[in-house]
């Protein structure tokens, strides 16, 4: 059992804290947002993530997980400190590391005994080195410390599952002591452990996210060719994915990737590569294809409706993917804003992200519906932008009756065009022929 402090109660930190506690460690989850900590102390979740509320409740009840807004005390009481604070993008594409630097200084100030400081947040290569230097500069006593990188690979919406069943654990360490402690922390998980130096671990994380985003952009580019050739991208990706060297995951064409990780990580990787002297222009193309895919989707709607101005458009699905209420950098934002700018009257619905959406879209032209059926009533087109399971169970006969014009724009290729066309709908997909 280790005494662990996780700094940051967000999508990565809170999940990690609860999972470490479940693995038998004694964990303090600390966040400088006192309102968030107060909420967590009451057993309420600051965001939606399946299975997390139950795990937090269980580990908090057993006292293995506690919450605090006092960084100083939490650091002093702990031996292992995981940094899981935000690293948002700056306007030049680089990662804003000011929260990490702040934390490094506070750790230095509270270094009352040996501590292992572990980066969990996604950071550019050489951040570990900077953390180490910062602590050396600000620490007072003679307590020793190590800095390690243990990148997180969990996906939102599947975070708890991914934490307990990871494909691999990466430990970027520069001392045997750091490696031993981290191995002990994860000893209950049965998976491959890759031990590297800190720089390599940092690159593994950036390269993994950039590769996954590239895979999606690749299939989205293929979807454009499929549309032009009258071919079916769904079959193309299915057949490609059966080749074990390619693999079928992250090969679904659609309106592209969003969320708080891919957009910022791809840009940050390109930025740091350039700074180190290599122009990774490939990654710029990956981002460009992603952006164009959203424009292409709205173009397809425009083509069918001729004029967007004055048309009633229903949007089903707003979160950047299903099973989360997260709308950060969601493709839906660009699509809704483009349609709104062109004068569409929009009605939005998402099973979980309504509060987030209300904070993002303030225009009078944008309305919010209580459910999917209310959203589509009287509309000229319905767009599916997130592949929520419950949308597959909708009664499309009922929907058709209430629509003004039976046009479906399927931004996730989640519906069956053959069935819908037979039921009298017009159908727009991506890469499924014009
Ligand atoms: C991503 C990575 O998958 C995680 O391994 C990583 O830990 C995380 O970033 C992070 O850095 O914290 P996440 O952002 O939760 O996880 O979401 P993903 O499931 O990767 O999906 C990202 C986007 O790609 C979504 O908008 C999704 O709709 C889109 N996507 C995914 C596609 O358009 N097509 C696909 O085939 C797969």
What is the tens place of the pLDDT at every residue in 198-247? 999 999 999 999 999 999 999 999 999 999 999 999 999 999 999 999 99
d(CA 127, CA 272): 11
Query: Is ligand 1 within 6 A of the CB of residue 259?
Result: yes
| Predicted structure pTM score | 0.95
d(CA 110, CA 73): 8
What mean pLDDT, rounded, does the chain reach?
96
Of ligand 1's listed atoms, the one at least distance from the Cα of 153 is 7
Neighbours of 231 (CB within 10 A): 16
Residue whose Cα lies nearest atom 22 of ligand 1: it is 257
Catalytic-residue membership of 261: yes
Residue whose Cα lies nearest atom 18 of ligand 1: it is 155
Query: Comparing C-alpha atoms, which of 12, 66, 397, 50 is closest to residue 205?
Result: 12
Residue whose Cα lies nearest atom 37 of ligand 1: it is 250
Query: Comparing C-alpha atoms, which of 100, 118, 128, 107 is closest to residue 182?
Result: 118
d(CA 367, CA 149): 45
Of ligand 1's listed atoms, the one at least distance from the Cα of 151 is 7
Percent of the chain scoring above 90 in pLDDT: 95
DSSP 64: S
d(CA 434, CA 425): 15
CA of 260 to the centre of ligand 1 (A): 9
CA of 199 to the centre of ligand 1 (A): 23
Handedness of CA 153, 156, 161, 164 (dihedral sign): positive
d(CA 167, CA 381): 41
For 267-285, the pLDDT digits (tens) are: 999 999 999 999 999 999 9
For 11-47, the pLDDT digits (tens) are: 999 999 999 999 999 999 999 999 999 999 999 999 9
Query: Is ligand 1 within 6 A of the CB of residue 209?
Result: yes
In 390-407, which positions are buried (b, 16+ CB within 10 angstroms) versus exposed (e)?
A: ebeebebeebeeebeebb
Using alpha carbons only, how large is the chain's radius of gyration in Å? 23
Predicted pLDDT at 434: 57
Identify the structural domains of the chain with CATH numbers, from first to last: 3-196 (3.40.50.720), 230-428 (3.40.50.720)
Query: Comparing C-alpha atoms, which of 367, 266, 255, 264 is closest to residue 319?
Result: 255
Of ligand 1's listed atoms, the one at least distance from the Cα of 154 is 7
Residue whose Cα lies nearest atom 16 of ligand 1: it is 155
């Amino acid at each position: 059992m280790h005494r662990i402090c996780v700094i940051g109660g967000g999508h990565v930190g809170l999940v990690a804290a609860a999972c470490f506690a479940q693995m038998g460690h004694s964990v303090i989850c600390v966040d400088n947002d006192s309102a968030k900590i107060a909420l967590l102390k009451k057993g309420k979740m600051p965001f939606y993530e399946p299975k997390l509320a139950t795990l937090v409740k269980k580990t908090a009840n057993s006292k293995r997980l506690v919450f605090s807004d006092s960084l100083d005390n939490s650091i002093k009481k702990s031996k292992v400190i995981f940094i899981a604070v935000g690293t948002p993008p700056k306007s030049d594409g680089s990662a804003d590391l000011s929260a990490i630097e702040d934390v490094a200084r506070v750790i230095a100030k509270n270094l009352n005994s040996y501590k292992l400081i572990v980066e969990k947040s996604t950071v550019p290569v050489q951040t570990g080195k900077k953390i180490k230097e910062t602590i050396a500069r600000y620490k007072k006593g003679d307590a020793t410390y190590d800095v390690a990188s243990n990148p997180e690979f969990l996906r939102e919406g599947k975070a708890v599952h991914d934490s307990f069943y990871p494909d691999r654990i990466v430990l970027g360490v520069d001392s045997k002591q750091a490696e031993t402690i981290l191995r002990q922390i994860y000893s209950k998980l049965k998976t491959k452990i890759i031990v590297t130096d800190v720089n390599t671990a940092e690159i593994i994380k950036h390269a993994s996210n950039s590769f996954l985003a590239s895979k999606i952009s690749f299939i989205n580019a293929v979807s454009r060719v499929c549309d032009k050739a009258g071919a079916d991208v769904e079959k193309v990706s299915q057949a490609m994915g059966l080749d074990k060297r390619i693999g079928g995951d992250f090969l679904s064409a659609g309106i592209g990737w969003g969320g708080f990780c891919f957009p910022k990580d791809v840009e940050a990787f390109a930025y740091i590569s350039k700074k180190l002297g290599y122009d990774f222009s490939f990654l710029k193309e990956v981002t460009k294809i992603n952006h164009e895919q959203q424009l292409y989707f709205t173009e397809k709607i425009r083509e069918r409706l001729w004029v967007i101005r004055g048309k009633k458009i229903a949007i089903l699905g707003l979160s950047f993917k299903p099973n989360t209420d997260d709308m950060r950098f969601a493709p839906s934002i660009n699509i809704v804003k483009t349609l709104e700018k062109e004068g569409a009257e929009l009605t939005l619905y998402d099973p979980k992200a309504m509060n987030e959406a209300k904070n993002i879209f303030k225009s009078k032209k944008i309305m919010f519906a209580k459910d999917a059926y209310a959203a589509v009533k009287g509309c000229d087109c319905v767009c599916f932008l997130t592949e929520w399971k419950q949308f597959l169970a909708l009664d499309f006969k009922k929907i058709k009756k209430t629509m003004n014009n039976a046009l479906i724009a399927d931004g996730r290729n989640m519906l069956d065009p053959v069935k819908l066309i037979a039921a009298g709908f017009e159908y727009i997909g991506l890469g499924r022929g014009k």
